[in-house]
Amino acid sequence: MNDEKKKHKLEITTVWSFPDRGNWATHNAKYRGNWAPHVPRNVILRYTNENDWVLDQFVGSGTTLIEAKLLNRNAIGVDINNSAIELARKNLNFKTKNSCIVKLYTGDARNLNFIGDETVDLICTHPPYANIIKYSDNIEGDLSRLDIEDFLNEMKSIAKESFRVIKKNKYCAILMGDTRRKGFIVPLGFMVMNIFIESGFRLKEIIIKEQHNCRLNKYWESKSLKYNFFLIAHEYLFIFKK
């Protein structure tokens, strides 16, 4: 087995860890909060076939769509932040022998009216975790500007739209982490999970993804010892089926 195959070996358990953020194609870790490309690669290979349609409605710098293009899947990327769309467009500007279609839209994940009912084979997306990282200062509808309660209310519309556009018996993968407020855990991941279940999805898998290279680790290490709490070092990858 050569190094390339080792790099892209599919995961077979529900615990994933990728210390290497991945630098093949146009991938890089410069866009704050983006996920390691190993995540969408595993999801796309497991749950789709070539020429299927993959949607990421929080496209960011385009990690999911880069993987879709490399794997010959058609892809739709949506983001409410036009700067993200332009960055994704730049990152997707590479040549392959594949004949897939890639579409980018500046739009709102709560209203995907340019996507037809039951036309998508896979949603593979990494939304903001409420306002932990703010991606804009004043874009109306940017979920990264919302505190937890408002964020969760808006996720109901996102779950509803996700359910509408996904084909029957197809999959929706969402990466979501938790946060901490006043010394106590806020289980944001499981709150979002329940919203998607309530929208009609069935829960297929819960995958624990280890976090690496988090910023301010030294600062938070000292705080965790002083105030007696554990640092959050995992996220949840929820796989839903319609």
CA distance 119 to 12: 28
Number of domains in the chain: 1
pLDDT at 97 over 60: yes
Mean pLDDT of the chain: 92
Domain range for 90 = 3-241
Predicted pLDDT at 32: 81
CB atoms within 10 A of CB 91: 21
Digit-coded pLDDT (tens) for 190-203? 999 999 999 999 99
Predicted pLDDT at 213: 65
Task: Please report, for the domain that includes residue 213, its CATH number.
Answer: 3.40.50.150
Predicted pLDDT at 2: 39
CA distance 53 to 45: 13
Q: Which of 57-66, 139-148, 209-218 has the lowest mean pLDDT?
A: 209-218
pLDDT at 13 over 90: yes
Q: What is the pTM of this model?
A: 0.93
Predicted pLDDT at 3: 44
> Average pLDDT for residues 10-25, to the nearest whole number?
92
pLDDT grade, residue 131 (50/70/90)?
confident
CA distance 10 to 132: 30
pLDDT grade, residue 207 (50/70/90)?
very high
**Cβ-contact 104, 91 below 8 angstroms:** no
The DSSP line for 83-145 is HHHHHHHHHT----S----EEEEE--TT--TTS-TT-EEEEEE----TTSS---SS-TT-GGG
CB atoms within 10 A of CB 167: 15
Beta strands 120-125 and 74-79, pairing class: unpaired
Share of the chain above pLDDT 90, in %: 74
pLDDT at 236 over 60: yes
Q: Which of 28-42, 105-119, 154-168, 195-209 has the lowest mean pLDDT?
A: 28-42
